[in-house]
């Protein structure tokens, strides 16, 4: 896993919705997360999007993953229980 500017572990999220942002977010793409405590307190996550800029988006639009390689596992079919 990569390191951010201040040595913290980089976090990633896969886009699962893009209702209001079809140009900026592609469903299934993995995006880097920039820590933003104030945004998180309001149910938002700061994402580096398709424009290569960072913006706040609703956390419901993403599923957190440990790394970019985990997306394959996240998309794998799961048995119903």
Angle among Cα 69, 63, 41 to the nearest 5 degrees reads 130
- What domains can be seen in the chain, in order of their start residue? 11-75 (2.30.30)
Q: What is the per-residue pLDDT across 40-78, written as a single tens digit (0 to 9) for each?
A: 999 999 999 988 999 999 999 999 998 666 555 545 444
Query: In sequence order, what are the residues at sequence separation of 6 or more whose Cβ sits closer than 8 angstroms to the Cβ of residue 60?
Result: 17, 43
Total-model pTM: 0.74
Q: What is the per-residue pLDDT across 11-38, written as a single tens digit (0 to 9) for each?
A: 999 999 999 999 999 999 999 999 999 9
**The 30-34 sheet, strands edge to edge:** 54-58, 44-48, 30-34, 11-15, 62-65
Determine the Cα–Cα distance for residues 27 and 51; give it in Å rounded to an integer.
15
């Amino acid at each position: 896993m990569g390191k951010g500017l201040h040595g913290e572990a980089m976090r990633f999220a896969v886009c699962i919705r893009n209702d209001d942002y079809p140009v900026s977010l592609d469903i299934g793409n993995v995006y880097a997360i920039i820590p933003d405590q104030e945004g998180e307190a309001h149910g938002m996550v700061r994402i580096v999007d398709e424009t290569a800029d960072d913006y706040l988006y609703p956390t419901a639009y993403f599923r957190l993953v440990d790394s970019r390689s985990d997306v394959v596992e996240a998309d794998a079919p799961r048995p119903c229980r």
